[in-house]
Amino acid sequence: MRHRFGVLALVGIAVLGSGSRLLACGDKFLVAGRGARFQRGGPRALSVLVYAPASSGLSGARLGKLPVDSVLTRAGYRPATAASAEQLAAMMRDGRPDIVLADVADAATVERTSPAGAPRPTIVPVLDNATRQQVSEARKTWGVALRSPASSDSLLDAVDEAAELHAKAAKNAGLKP
C-alpha cells in the first residue's frame, strides 16, 4: 500500500510539473499561473493599444487569423485599436496606453508619437515571418518582440513580458504601474 501511494504521488508531481498548459473545458484557454499575475498587478488592468494602419500586418486588429482584441480581453487586458496616425496620436495623448503592439516598421513612429514623461508605453514590435536573428535583434532594441503568425499563447506571452517591463520601468521612475 505504501509503495502504491509513493508511486501515485511521484506520478502526480511529474504530471503537474511537466507543463504549464492545462486542458480545460470550453475554449482551452487556461494557462497555469496567468491569473496570479493579474492579482499581483493590482486592481487596474493594463491597457494595450494595437496600432494597425492599413499598410501594417496588423490591419483590422488581427494577427494573421488571430483576433487580438478578443484574446487580450479574455486574458484581462483592456485592448484598443488605432487605425491611423491621427488616432494613434490622440490615443497616446489622451489614453496613455501601457503597452503598444505595432508592426516592426511602425515601432519607431509609435515611439516618436509617445508623449514625454514617465512611464512611456512599452512597445511590442510584431515581425512578420521573421528569422530568429531578426527576432533577437528586435528583442535587443525593444526588450520584447512577437513573431507573426502568432498563436494566442505567444501573443499573451509577449504582452505579459511587456507588462513586466512596463512595471519595472514604472517602479524605476517611482510611479505606480
Tell me the three cell numbers of residue 146: 512577437
Handedness of CA 133, 135, 136, 141 (dihedral sign): positive
Q: Where are the beta strands (DSSP E) in 59-121?
A: 62-63, 66-67, 78-82, 99-103
Low-confidence winner among 32-36, 49-53, 57-61, 80-84 (lowest mean pLDDT)? 32-36
**Distance separating alpha carbons of residues 78 and 13, to the nearest angstrom:** 36
Task: Average the pLDDT over 62-88 and give the result.
Answer: 85
Indicate if the pLDDT at residue 70 is higher than 60.
yes
CB 161 within 8 A of CB 144: yes
The position carrying cell 480581453 is: 73
- pLDDT tens digit string along 24-33? 555 555 555 5
Amino acid at 38: F
Q: What's the pLDDT band for 38 if we cut at 50, 70, 90?
A: very low
- pLDDT tens digit string along 91-112? 988 878 999 999 888 888 888 8
- pLDDT tens digit string along 116-152? 775 788 999 988 888 889 888 989 988 898 887 778 8
Domains and CATH numbers, the chain: 21-172 (3.40.50.2300)
Indicate if the pLDDT at residue 19 is higher than 50.
yes
**Distance separating alpha carbons of residues 163 and 42, to the nearest angstrom:** 12
